[in-house]
Amino acid sequence: MHDSIATIDQAKNTLLDLAIRFGPRLLTALLILIVGVVVSRWFSRWLGKGLSRIELEPPVRLLLGRIAWLLSMTLFFILALQNLGVELLPLIAGLGVAGAGLALATQGVLSNIVAGLSIIFSKPFRVGEYISIVGEEGTVESITLFNTTLGHVDRSRVVIPNARSPARSSTTSDRSDSSTCRWGWLTTRT
């Protein structure tokens, strides 16, 4: 009985010592992360409002806003880790190895992202145009990193992964009084 009371007292003293040593650092790190979330949201919204004044496609504005949020949050996360005393060099090396493994495991997702970036920046078609992709026809409702959404007259929607679009599709507008633009796998008339 006396040994168990001594063990409990020792555990209590150890926890109290750890709380005194690391408690302020942990609270400061949590405060840094909370401030980071608020600042990142504000920065992303501010950038979105600024970019809305420039003639950019909605997917590009959304992409730039998300990148700004991610970079800002990464900065605050690194600040919080440094406050906790974490060595960042081994952590970065480990993240590099994990990133290579993750890239190999998510090749399909990454191909959608690359194809999405290609569509967003090269603009072979835009939101609101009538196109045909992979045997599906409709009006482009949205273009994201992962997929393109087509809307039909009957209000149904078709979501097409961007990785499928470039490899197997051709796109043609149904308007006859238009000029034609060809882009490899895609033809559109405007």
By C-alpha distance, which of 120, 184, 169 is closest to 146? 120
pLDDT band of 1, cuts 50, 70, 90: low
By C-alpha distance, which of 127, 159, 124 is closest to 58? 127
Within 8 A by CB and 6+ apart from 47, the residues are 64, 65, 68
Q: If DSSP codes are grouped into helix, strand and coil, which group holds residue 71?
A: helix
Domains (range + CATH), the chain: 2-105 (1.10.287.1260), 124-189 (2.30.30.60)
pTM greater than 0.85: no
CB burial of residue 2 (10 Å; 0-12, 13-18, 19+)? exposed
The mean pLDDT of 62-90, rounded to a whole number, is 88
pLDDT band of 166, cuts 50, 70, 90: low
